[in-house]
């Protein structure tokens, strides 16, 4: 069979590298994108080929892989199946648009959708989007080949949700994969795109022009933070590839010229023995690339940071989230401020070049004093980079279910949306207050960085200045203080729209007692 694998991109998280930075002089059709590669379809491609099928990959970040181009390729090549993949609700409108175009171009070609958002909303998606034929729920490594093998008998494919006689049929669930070592390594060569190591910001922030890719060595997270849907998707399990299998892929990437790799594991720091094996293998093989990862501050593997540094780990991101224990407990982080301080200081003591802190603002029950406390806490941490993003709620998270129980969200009508808590929660600060306090906090944080840690700040700016224009660096530094445009009203829950409200339900739901204990 001829199979198209299409990753539908949220363009807010990828940018074309500015022409003046692309010094390759290449005219072979390759482009340079600041963003993460589509590891999902890259993983599926060699597996599908192993089953005897031909595969063509598309990533909609490419200017020549837009919906109209994919529709033209469909008319020209007539694939037997088109598999679409998307990560979140923000890309769902693009999925619907692409599905409609593809059905016009080739009405009889089956369209199957997969990914995290599809898994959480399979039945609702098929009710809402008539152009999609089926949805794959869960991991696709075994599901997609099974579906291709049984196009005439979709009822036999575990994990498939499909249409039959005007009805939507949900097949038996497919169990989680146990052996992650059984699959070939991802196909990183078929897409004519070079993915550039960069910070996930609103302006170009290139870190290097070295050959860059992502890699996943484990899946899932056993924790239950109220804003995260990963435990629901992974059923609360953490599964991992063996150190030997991981090192085999690392060796291949090293020999292919990759010099910067980011591990997309939800929690890499969970198993200290495995980390030790990977890092020792890295040193024994004399691999040359540098790498980074994410983890929790309370991970037992924090004591492996010295070995990680020796094995070329140069970037570590921690989910700090808040600078008060009150807010951390409300988010169900199950970590303490002391653990945050210890993990960050230990990372810097062991020589990790860049330590990043993820923070959330606008959480339920957070006051202006709490918000400023988070910024002041950040000034006391030895983090090199940071981000303070407004807390949002998505379907599949514990917070979404809480808002259903509180009568704020109607799950039947709001399932395809996402909301900023400051727009809908009467126990959260309003969006205007959050933005104002955040600007004040950034001003304080920037001033402290300049006057208390001038050398480290200078080194960071020099790093960015290697591949960025001064005007772009200025935009980067100025972006936290830019007034947000009010021209586009935020999406609101169906109930609020019916009542004609543009502010949280403060006058409808009592604040006292509205937040579960």
CATH of the domain at 376: 3.80.30.20
Could you tell me the CA-to-CA distances from 348 to 295, 302, 313 in Å, in that order?
15, 12, 12
Looking at the structure, tell me whether residues 164 and 242 fall in a common domain. no
Residue with the bigger pLDDT between 113 and 498: it is 113
* Residue 147 is assigned to a structural domain of this protein: yes
Count how many domains the chain has. Answer: 2
CA pair distance 280, 286, nearest whole angstrom = 10
Rounded to a whole number of angstroms, the CA Rg of the chain reads 23
CA pair distance 5, 112, nearest whole angstrom = 10
Strands 419-420 and 392-393: antiparallel
Q: Is 368 helix (H, G, I), strand (E, B) or coil?
A: helix
* Residue 292 is assigned to a structural domain of this protein: yes
Q: With DSSP H G I counted as helix, E B as strand and the rest as coil, what are the percentages for the chain, rounded to 5? A: 40, 15, 40
Model pTM score: 0.92
* Residue 412 is assigned to a structural domain of this protein: no
Confidence check: pLDDT of 358 > 60: yes
Range of the domain at 30: 2-170
Q: What is the pLDDT of residue 11?
A: 73
In the block, tokens 């579960």 appear at: 516
CA pair distance 493, 419, nearest whole angstrom = 8
DSSP, res 427: T
Q: Six-digit token pair at 362?
A: 């606008």
Q: 47-61, 88-102, 233-247, 461-475: lowest mean pLDDT where?
A: 461-475
**CATH number where 104 lies:** 3.40.50.280
Which of 98-102, 268-272, 298-302, 383-387 is the most confident on average?
A: 98-102
Nearest to 466 by CA among 200, 212, 203, 208: 208
Residue 483: burial class (beta carbons within 10 Å; 0-12, 13-18, 19+): exposed
The DSSP secondary structure of 453-476, one letter per residue, reads SHHHHHHHHHHHHTTS-HHHHHHH
* Residue 413 is assigned to a structural domain of this protein: no
Looking at the structure, tell me whether residues 159 and 295 fall in a common domain. no
CB 461 within 8 A of CB 473: yes
* Residue 350 is assigned to a structural domain of this protein: yes
Looking at the structure, tell me whether residues 382 and 441 fall in a common domain. yes
Nearest to 452 by CA among 379, 344, 511, 371: 379
Strand partners, 294: 317
Looking at the structure, tell me whether residues 320 and 450 fall in a common domain. yes
CA pair distance 365, 512, nearest whole angstrom = 11
CA pair distance 350, 333, nearest whole angstrom = 25
In the block, tokens 């989910």 appear at: 319
Strand partners, 206: 198
Report the alpha-carbon angle 199-200-203, nearest 5. Answer: 85
Q: What is the pLDDT of residue 489?
A: 66
Q: 149-163, 203-217, 356-370: lowest mean pLDDT where?
A: 203-217
CA pair distance 118, 140, nearest whole angstrom = 12
Q: Is 146 helix (H, G, I), strand (E, B) or coil?
A: helix
Nearest to 354 by CA among 382, 389, 321, 390: 382
Looking at the structure, tell me whether residues 152 and 275 fall in a common domain. no
Question: Last residue of some domain: 151, 170, 189?
Answer: 170
Looking at the structure, tell me whether residues 54 and 118 fall in a common domain. yes
* Residue 23 is assigned to a structural domain of this protein: yes
Confidence check: pLDDT of 24 > 60: no
pLDDT digits (tens, 9 = 90+) for 433-482: 999 999 999 999 999 999 999 998 998 889 888 888 888 888 888 888 87
The answer for 107, left when phi > 0, alpha when psi is -120 to 50, beta otherwise, is alpha
The DSSP secondary structure of 22-42, one letter per residue, reads --S---SS-EEEES---HHHH
Q: What is the pLDDT of residue 206?
A: 87
Strand partners, 389: 360
The angle that helices 92-105 and 67-77 make with each other, rounded to 10 degrees, is: 30
Looking at the structure, tell me whether residues 210 and 136 fall in a common domain. no
Q: What is the largest CA-CA distance in the chain?
A: 69
The angle that helices 454-465 and 431-452 make with each other, rounded to 10 degrees, is: 110
Q: What is the pLDDT of residue 22?
A: 65
CA pair distance 503, 393, nearest whole angstrom = 16
Strand partners, 273: none
Strand partners, 162: 134, 169
Could you tell me the CA-to-CA distances from 269 to 298, 303, 316, 468 in Å, in that order?
9, 10, 10, 32
Looking at the structure, tell me whether residues 210 and 151 fall in a common domain. no
Looking at the structure, tell me whether residues 165 and 303 fall in a common domain. no
Q: What is the pLDDT of residue 505?
A: 58
* Residue 404 is assigned to a structural domain of this protein: no
CB 160 within 8 A of CB 151: no
Nearest to 21 by CA among 467, 479, 504, 484: 467
CA pair distance 328, 377, nearest whole angstrom = 13
Strands 313-321 and 290-295: parallel
Q: What is the pLDDT of residue 20?
A: 59
CA pair distance 250, 241, nearest whole angstrom = 13
* Residue 460 is assigned to a structural domain of this protein: yes
Residue with the bigger pLDDT between 227 and 513: it is 227
What 3 state SS string does 153-220 have? CHHHCCCEEEEECCEEEECCCCCCCCCHHHCCCCCCCCCCEEEECECCCCCCCECCCCCEEEECCEEC
Looking at the structure, tell me whether residues 141 and 216 fall in a common domain. no
The proportion of the chain whose per-residue pLDDT surpasses 90, expressed as a percent, equals 79
Average pLDDT over residues 245-268: 97
Question: Last residue of some domain: 170, 186, 210?
Answer: 170
Looking at the structure, tell me whether residues 202 and 166 fall in a common domain. no
Q: How confident is the model at residue 514 (pLDDT cuts 50, 70, 90)?
A: very low
Looking at the structure, tell me whether residues 116 and 205 fall in a common domain. no
Q: How confident is the model at residue 515 (pLDDT cuts 50, 70, 90)?
A: very low
Q: 28-32, 162-166, 340-344, 380-384: lowest mean pLDDT where?
A: 28-32
């Amino acid at each position: 069979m001829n199979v198209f694998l299409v990753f539908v991109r949220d363009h807010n998280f990828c940018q074309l590298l500015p022409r003046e930075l692309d010094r390759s002089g290449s005219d072979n059709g390759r482009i340079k994108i600041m963003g993460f590669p589509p590891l999902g379809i890259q993983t599926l491609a060699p597996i599908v080929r192993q089953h005897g099928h031909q595969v063509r990959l598309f990533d909609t970040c490419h200017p020549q892989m837009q919906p109209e181009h994919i529709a033209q390729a469909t008319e020209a090549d007539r694939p037997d199946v088109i598999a679409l993949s998307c990560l979140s609700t923000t890309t769902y409108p693009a999925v619907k648009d692409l599905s409609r175009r593809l059905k016009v171009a080739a009405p009889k070609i089956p369209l199957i959708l997969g990914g995290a958002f599809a898994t959480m909303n399979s039945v609702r998606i098929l009710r809402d989007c008539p152009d999609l034929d089926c949805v794959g729920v869960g991991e696709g490594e075994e599901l997609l080949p099974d579906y291709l093998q049984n196009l005439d008998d979709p009822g036999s494919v575990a994990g498939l949700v499909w249409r039959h006689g005007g009805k939507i049929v949900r097949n038996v669930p497919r169990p989680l994969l146990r052996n992650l070592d059984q699959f070939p390594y991802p196909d990183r060569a078929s897409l004519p795109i070079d993915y550039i190591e960069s910070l996930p910001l609103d302006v170009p922030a290139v870190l290097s022009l070295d050959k860059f890719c992502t890699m996943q060595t484990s899946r899932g997270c056993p924790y239950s933070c109220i804003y995260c849907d990963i435990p629901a998707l992974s059923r609360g399990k953490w599964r991992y590839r063996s150190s030997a299998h991981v090192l085999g892929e690392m060796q291949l990437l090293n020999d292919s010229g990759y010099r910067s790799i980011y591990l997309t594991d939800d929690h890499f720091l969970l198993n200290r023995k495995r980390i030790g094996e990977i890092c020792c293998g890295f040193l024994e093989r004399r691999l040359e690339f540098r790498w980074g990862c994410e983890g929790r501050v309370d991970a037992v593997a924090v004591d492996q940071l010295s070995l990680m540094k020796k094995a070329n780990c140069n970037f570590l991101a921690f989910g700090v989230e808040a600078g008060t224990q009150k807010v951390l407990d409300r988010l169900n982080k199950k970590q303490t401020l002391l653990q945050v301080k210890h993990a960050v200081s230990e990372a810097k003591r062991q020589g990790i070049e860049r330590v990043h802190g993820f923070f959330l603002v606008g959480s339920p029950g957070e006051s202006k004093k709490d918000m400023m406390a988070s910024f002041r806490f950040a000034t006391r941490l030895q983090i090199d980079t940071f981000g303070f993003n407004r807390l949002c709620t998505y379907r599949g998270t514990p917070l979404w279910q809480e808002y259903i129980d509180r009568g704020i969200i109607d799950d039947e009508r709001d399932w395809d949306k996402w909301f900023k808590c400051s727009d809908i929660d009467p126990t959260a600060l309003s969006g205007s207050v959050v933005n104002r306090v955040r600007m004040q906090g950034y001003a304080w944080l920037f001033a402290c960085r300049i006057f208390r840690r001038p050398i480290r700040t200078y080194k960071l700016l020099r790093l960015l200045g290697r591949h960025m224009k001064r005007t772009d660096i200025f935009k980067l530094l100025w972006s936290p203080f830019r007034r947000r445009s009010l021209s586009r009203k935020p999406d609101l829950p169906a109930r609020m729209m019916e009542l004609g409200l543009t502010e949280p339900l403060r006058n409808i739901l009592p604040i006292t007692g509205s937040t579960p204990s």
